[in-house]
Amino acid sequence: MGNIKIRHKGIEITKDKPFENCRLKRTEDAERINKIIENSEGGFTLAINGEWGVGKTTFLKMWEADLKSKEYTTIYLNAWEHDISSEPLICILGELCKLLDKKNLDIKKRLMSNAKYFSKKTLPIVFNGLTSHFLGNEGGDKIKDFIEAVTNGSRDNYFDQEISDYESRTDNITELKKTLEEAVEKVCNGKRLIFIVDELDRCRPDFAVEILEKIKHLFSVKNVVFVLSIDKIQLGYSIQGHYGSDKINAQEYLRRFIDIEYNLNVPHIEDFVDYLYDYYNFDSFIKSNDRKNLSAFSEDKDNLLQIAHTLVKGKQLTLRKVDKMFAYMRLALLTYQSNQYLISDVLLLVVYLKLYDDDVYQNIKTKKYSLDELSNKLDDLLEGPLANGDNTSEAGYSWTLFLNLYNKGLLSIKKFVNLMDEIKQDKISIKSKYISNEELIRLIQDSFNASTTVRGLNLDFIIRHVEMTSGM
């Protein structure tokens, strides 16, 4: 079988064709955002909005590579990785200083000198370390002397003194922005600097708000475009948490900082499912030499992909959740022998319940549900496709096969229901909100024949494999 991947490590992003390996057709998003930048003037803040797990970070990395190929200068800052810091100003300023080489030490010095007046929380020693790193020991001496004078030589106290005089503060803001514009002109060859801030919605509430405030008041200049990657709903919760009230209109608050909002397109989820099937190399098991010539296993791939397409669309799963489900499923295959029945569609449904609806999974595992109760849960599980009529036949077949395999497991606790006898007597006891009685009877007969083909196998067999995966 060879080595298999157990975790998705992201797609390969090439410099010349950064979207070449993208299966979500994100090139369209990049082209639209590029048009916004190319056909606008001055600096502004653009928010790229999408819920957690839809692939914003991967998109940003591809898009950044695309911008660089168009000779834009970019900065990428993962805010979440830096929210351990007490001062967002340091993160922003530090990334800007990286752009300036030794020929621009004077600009670095002036940026640092003007920015320090707006730091409320940073320890003097942090500023000392930053100036030494970017300016060298000699270049930072004057700033260090100033800091030590303000703090009376103490390195143990917080640098919390701000310039109280309004005119002085205004002058410093003006000078900071002027110096930043000069720095961008030096390094960006006449183009605007694209400063990307990722994972802002995952930060501590106070850190997220501070970044927004700093960008708005200190770094908004004519030749810098800030791009914020956010889940607007989650960031709204952070804002309410920061101010200690859920009555704050967080969306209205965000409009103070965001000039343009772009919503990522809904991904082509079926393409992503097919990509993950190939990425995790399911064929190395499903189409292995021991299985590919056996008719009993011939439909495993089609059944798996059909129910996967159906489930992820119906449940509107994020890319991250779909990825996790496929990774877990691939691990589960390691617990199977090459000559064992897989029943891939039911296995995927069990994996989904294990990961994302554990209460239902545990009740199925311990056989607490009656058949009627389970049929209601299966209606909920496959509600989207069953209600909309999408792949109803395939979803309905998986529905009844799951039910029949569970029913066979009830033999051991004497709760088995002889559905075939009920059908003969025209008094079937289970119902579905979405499948007609006539169709349900046909599907039960088909799935009963399939579950009989695999002899003594029942849902317990599949659950044991899923549980073995949990122990890995």
DSSP letter assigned to residue 426: T
Counting Cα atoms < 13 Å in the Cβ hemisphere of 184 gives 26
Are the C-beta atoms of residues 345 and 306 closer than 8 Å to each other? yes
Domain boundaries, the chain: 27-120+162-263, 269-470
Q: Which of 168, 171, 186 is nearest to 107 (CA)?
A: 186
For the chain, give me the number of helices (H) and strands (E)?
22, 5
| pLDDT confidence of residue 73 | 96
Quote the CA–CA distance of 24 and 105 in Å, as a whole number. 43
Give the strands of the sheet with 260-263, arranged side by side: 73-78, 193-198, 224-230, 44-49, 260-263
| pLDDT confidence of residue 122 | 43
Q: H or E element: which one contains 306?
A: helix 300-314
Domain boundaries 27-120+162-263, corresponding CATH code: 3.40.50.300
List the chain residues with pLDDT less than 70: 1-4, 6, 120-167, 388-392, 451-455, 471-472
Give 63's contacts (C-beta < 8 A, 6+ positions apart). Answer: 18, 26, 29, 30, 33
Strands (E), 382-427: none
| pLDDT confidence of residue 412 | 82
Which tokens belong to 274?
């097919």
Residue whose token pair is 């600097």:
193
| pLDDT confidence of residue 390 | 58
| pLDDT confidence of residue 451 | 64
Q: H or E element: which one contains 229?
A: strand 224-230
Quote the CA–CA distance of 324 and 330 in Å, as a whole number. 10
Quote the CA–CA distance of 406 and 413 in Å, as a whole number. 12
Q: How many residues does the chain have?
A: 472
Quote the CA–CA distance of 302 and 309 in Å, as a whole number. 11
| pLDDT confidence of residue 160 | 46
Task: List beta partners, residue 49.
Answer: 230, 263
| pLDDT confidence of residue 454 | 67
Quote the CA–CA distance of 81 and 202 in Å, as a whole number. 9
| Interior/surface letters 22-34, b for 16+ CB within 10 angstroms, e for the rest | bbbebbebbeebe
DSSP letter assigned to residue 466: H
Q: Which of 374, 421, 422, 423 is nearest to 402 (CA)?
A: 374
One-character DSSP codes across 267-278:
P-HHHHHHHHHH
Quote the CA–CA distance of 317 and 323 in Å, as a whole number. 10
| pLDDT confidence of residue 391 | 54
